Amino acid sequence: MSHRSAREYLIRIAHRNMNRTFSKTSIAALLLAFIVIVVGAYVRLSDAGLGCPDWPGCYGQITAPDDFHEIQKASEVFPHSEVNSAKAWKEMFHRYLASSLGLLILAMAFLAIKNRGREGQQLYLPLALVALVIFQGMLGMWTVTLLLKPAIVTMHLVTGLLTLSLLLWTALKHHQVFSAKTEVASHIRNWSRLALVILAVQIFLGGWTSTNYVALYCPDFPTCQGQWWPQTDFPEAFTFIKEIGINYEGGTLTNEAGVTVHLMHRIGALLTFFVIGSLALVLIRSSDKTLRNIAYFISGFLCIQISLGIANVLLLLPIQIAVSHNAFAALLLLSLVTLNYRTSISTTKRISSPEEKTEKTEKNGNTLNTATTDTTAGLKTA
C-alpha cells in the first residue's frame, strides 16, 4: 500500500470514528435534555427555584452550603435569603445537569465542524443548538437574578423543550431512521404541523399556569370555583412585562387573573385533545405501519397527559403527578416531532378530486372500449 493510499485510508477511519462519536453524543444529549427538563420541573414545583440566590454559584460557592459553618457564612453573605440546604442542592443538581448538557452540545458542534463536508453530516443544526443552549443558560441566570419573573421562567421552559425537540430532529436525521421513498398525503402533513403548533401553544399556557402559581385557582373539575365561567381578567392575566425587583415565587396574580390563566389552559387542553386525538385516529387506520406505530405513542401519551392534568386538580397538585405532567408533555412533544420529521422527508401523495377520478374512469373505459373494438375487428378480418 502506498503512502497516499494509507493516508486516505486513515482519514476515512478517522471520519468514520467521528461519525460514530457524533451519533453517540447526540443520543446522550437527547436523553440528558429530557432528564434536565424533568428535574427542572421538580425544582420549580418543589419551590426550590431560588434555592441559590446567586448564579452560577450557590451562596458564593461551587456547591450548596451543607455544614454548619458554610450555612453560617452563607447567611452572612446573603442576609436577606433564608438558607435551605435541601432546596439549594436541588437547584445546584439541576445546574450541574444543565451544564453537562451544554458541554455535550458543544461537543456535537465541534464534531460537526471537524467532520463537515462528509456525506450525512449535519452542521447548521448543531451550531444552532449551541446558540440556543447559550441563550438557555442566560435565561437560567435571569430566572434567579430576576426572582422567578414568570415571562423569563416560562421562556426558560419553552426553550428547554425546543432544545429537546431539535436534538431529537438531529438524531433522527443523522441515523436516517425513516425511508424517504414512502408517500404521505398532503393533508396528513399539514395536519401534523397544525397539531405541533397547537401543542406548542398549549405547552406555553401550561408553563404560564405553573410559573404564575395558578394551577389550583380552579380547585374543582370540570367547573372552576363552582362555576362554568367565573369572573376573569385577561389584561392582567397575560401581562408579560412586569416590574423588576419583586419576588414572584408563590405568584402575584389576583384571583380573577389567575382563574383566567387556568381556564385558558383548560380550553387549550380540550382543543389539543380533539386536534391531536383525531389525527392519531386517522393515522391508526393508515396503511403505513410506521405512521400507525407513531400514532399509538401519540394517543397513549395524550390520554395519560389529559388524565394527569385532571388528577393535578382533583388531588390538589401532588408533586409526583405534577412532575409527571411535565414529563409526558415532553414525551407527547417528541412523538409529534417524530411524526413531523417522518412526514417532512416523505414525498407528497396527491389525492385525486372526484372530478379527476370520474375523468380517469371515463378515460380507462374509453381505452378499454377501443381495445375491444380493435380486437373484434381483428377477429373479423381473420
Please check whether residue 364 lies inside any domain of the structure: yes
pTM of the model: 0.88
Residue 380 banded pLDDT, cuts 50, 70, 90: very low
Residue 375 pLDDT > 80: no
pLDDT recorded at residue 12: 56
Among 19, 3, 28, 5, CA closest to 117: 19
How far apart are alpha carbons 166 and 161 in whole angstroms? Answer: 9
Question: Is 158 found in the same domain as 28?
Answer: yes
pLDDT recorded at residue 13: 56
pLDDT recorded at residue 379: 44
In the listed set 160, 176, 192, which residue is the last one of a domain according to the structure? 176
Q: In terms of C-beta density within 10 A (0-12 exposed, 13-18 middle, 19 or more buried), how is residue 22 classed? A: buried
Question: Is 248 found in the same domain as 136?
Answer: no
pLDDT digits (tens, 9 = 90+) for 247-257: 999 999 999 99
Question: Is 160 found in the same domain as 41?
Answer: yes
Domain count, the chain: 2
Identity of the residue numbered 296: Y
Cell of 236: 392582567
pLDDT recorded at residue 4: 63
| Phi, psi values for residue 54, rounded to 5° | -120, 175
Question: Is 246 found in the same domain as 141?
Answer: no
Please work out, in degrees rounded to the nearest 5, the angle formed at the alpha carbon of residue 55 by the alpha carbons of 52 and 58: 40
| Phi, psi values for residue 50, rounded to 5° | -110, 30
pLDDT recorded at residue 120: 82
Question: Is 247 found in the same domain as 127?
Answer: no
Do the Cβ atoms of 306 and 293 come closer than 8 Å?
no
Q: Which residue has the higher pLDDT, 364 or 246?
A: 246
Residue 5 pLDDT > 60: yes
pLDDT recorded at residue 348: 72
Please check whether residue 183 lies inside any domain of the structure: yes
Q: In terms of C-beta density within 10 A (0-12 exposed, 13-18 middle, 19 or more buried), how is residue 200 classed? A: middle
Question: Is 230 found in the same domain as 360?
Answer: yes
Q: In terms of C-beta density within 10 A (0-12 exposed, 13-18 middle, 19 or more buried), how is residue 7 classed? A: exposed
Instruction: Report the share of the chain in percent with pLDDT over 70.
Output: 86
Instruction: Report the share of the chain in percent with pLDDT over 90.
Output: 80
Q: Between the CA of residue 348 and those of 151, 180, 187, 229, what are the distances in Å?
A: 39, 11, 9, 44
Q: Which residue has the higher pLDDT, 274 or 363?
A: 274
**b/e burial code for range 28-64 (CB count within 10 A of at least 16 → b):** bbbebbbebbbbbbbbbbbbbbbbbbbeeebbebeeb
Please check whether residue 303 lies inside any domain of the structure: yes
Question: Is 317 found in the same domain as 274?
Answer: yes
In the listed set 146, 176, 206, which residue is the last one of a domain according to the structure? 176
Question: Is 114 found in the same domain as 193?
Answer: no
Is the peptide bond prior to 56 cis by the omega test (within 30 degrees of 0)? yes
Q: Which residue has the higher pLDDT, 380 or 232?
A: 232
pLDDT recorded at residue 178: 86
Do the Cβ atoms of 51 and 85 come closer than 8 Å?
no
Question: Is 292 found in the same domain as 191?
Answer: yes
Please check whether residue 36 lies inside any domain of the structure: yes
pLDDT recorded at residue 106: 98
Residue 116 banded pLDDT, cuts 50, 70, 90: confident
Please check whether residue 266 lies inside any domain of the structure: yes
Mean pLDDT value of segment 332-337: 98
Q: Which of 8, 91, 119, 355 is catalytic?
A: 91
Mean pLDDT value of segment 322-345: 97
How far apart are alpha carbons 369 and 204 in whole angstroms? Answer: 61
Question: Is 155 found in the same domain as 261?
Answer: no
Please state the three-class secondary structure of 284-332 as a single string.
HCCCCHHHHHHHHHHHHHHHHHHHHHHHHHHCCCCHHHHHHHHHHHHHH
Please check whether residue 194 lies inside any domain of the structure: yes
pLDDT recorded at residue 374: 55
pLDDT digits (tens, 9 = 90+) for 62-95: 999 999 999 999 999 999 899 999 999 999 999 9
How far apart are alpha carbons 234 and 264 in whole angstroms? Answer: 10
Length of the chain: 382
Cell of 54: 446567586
Mean pLDDT value across the chain: 90
pLDDT digits (tens, 9 = 90+) for 142-155: 999 999 999 999 99
Please check whether residue 382 lies inside any domain of the structure: no
Question: Is 233 found in the same domain as 285?
Answer: yes
pLDDT recorded at residue 7: 57
In the listed set 128, 160, 176, which residue is the last one of a domain according to the structure? 176
Identify the helix (H) or strand (E) that includes residue 348: strand 347-349
Question: Is 308 found in the same domain as 353?
Answer: yes
- Annotated catalytic residue 91: yes
Mean pLDDT value of segment 98-122: 93
pLDDT recorded at residue 363: 55
pLDDT recorded at residue 117: 81
With the C-alpha atoms ordered 41, 42, 47, 50, is the resulting torsion angle positive or negative? Answer: negative
* Enclosing domain of residue 207: 178-377
pLDDT digits (tens, 9 = 90+) for 230-243: 999 999 999 999 99
Angle between helices 150-175 and 186-211 (to 10 degrees): 150
How far apart are alpha carbons 369 and 350 in whole angstroms? Answer: 28
Do the Cβ atoms of 173 and 122 come closer than 8 Å?
yes
pLDDT recorded at residue 347: 76
End-to-end CA distance of the chain: 72
